Amino acid sequence: MDRLDAMRVFVASLDEGSLAGAGRRLGRSPAAVTRAIAFLERQVGVQLLHRSTRGLRLTDAGERYAAACRRMLTDLEEADLSVAGERTAPRGLLTITAPVMFGTHILRPIVGAFLRAHPDVQIRFLLLDQMINLIEEGVDVALRIAALPDSAMIALHVGDVRRVLCASPDYLARKPPITAPADLSDHDCIAIAQLSPNEIWSFPPAPGHRMNRNVRMRPRLTVNADQAAVDAAVDGEGVLRIMSYKIDQHVREGRLVILLPEDELPPLPAHLVIPEGRLASAKVRAFVDFAAARLRSEFVRMDQAQPAPAGA
């Protein structure tokens, strides 16, 4: 059995979450997929997968081997497509990652439009709120919202994300006014994934001062998922601090109100990040060109829909 072919079966099994799914994707029988995985395990001398009725789980050795397989197959595909003239016709598998809510609400429609424009491209779309190693996971393009460390990767700035305070009109109607950060200490707060019963919210210095202003909050509700926090804010459970794009629709439709825009922390930059060498591929260049313009338009639209900080 060809080792590279067996690697493709192994990676397809991980992407699909089952041997049967890999078989359907590759047009092979379940027995052929099982033989390919067994062949690889004999070659490396260790078990790569735990198989059960609930699906597949990588062993520790399997995790390391999967990362190496993805790198090797990606490099091989890029070499083949470049020699075959792929520079003029985007095709092949494109792997993209983004934060869950941004990817779901903003980037996913752009991905769909790109697929319709390029019928020879397939996309593996990973929605993850944790940072992953782009090289090890075989990622071609990542949407990252954060100040980026220096690296050999290419980063294309597409917008800025504000970190905003918000609450529902119903909540604000039955609580004391909020005109300055200090007023928040008398309010209910919704916290996201905090283990401490107290939470410190930091704000830029007041005019004429150099120290940040800190307000100690006592959360009435703590959740570990952004969507649940947003839903709670819409339902009037308290004040929420969150990235602006996660509440954009609710603000535009009046279900949430932005508070203290003049006291916001500096915005976080949003970039499309591409590992070194990936832009040599036409599918990557085509997606970056396609997505960057649309993302910039989305950020402009979101800024226009929400009150801007003073002086912005």
pLDDT tens track for 41-89 = 998 899 998 877 667 888 888 888 888 888 788 777 766 666 655 556 7
The answer, yes or no, to whether residue 207 has pLDDT greater than 50, is yes
DSSP structural state of residue 280: G
The b/e string for 89-104 (b: 16+ C-beta within 10 A; e otherwise) is ebbbbbbbbbbbbbbe
pLDDT tens track for 247-262 = 999 999 999 999 999 9
Alpha helices in the chain (DSSP H): 3-16, 19-26, 30-44, 60-83, 100-102, 108-117, 169-173, 226-234, 248-252, 282-305
Are residues 192 and 101 in contact, defined by beta-carbon separation less than 8 angstroms?
Answer: no
CB atoms within 10 A of CB 180: 14
Does pTM surpass 0.85?
Answer: no
The answer, yes or no, to whether residue 195 has pLDDT greater than 80, is no
For 185, phi then psi, to 5°, come to: -65, -20
Calpha distance 54→37 (Å, rounded): 18
The answer, yes or no, to whether residue 273 has pLDDT greater than 90, is yes
pLDDT tens track for 1-22 = 688 888 888 888 888 888 888 8
Calpha distance 19→13 (Å, rounded): 5
For 187, phi then psi, to 5°, come to: -120, 160
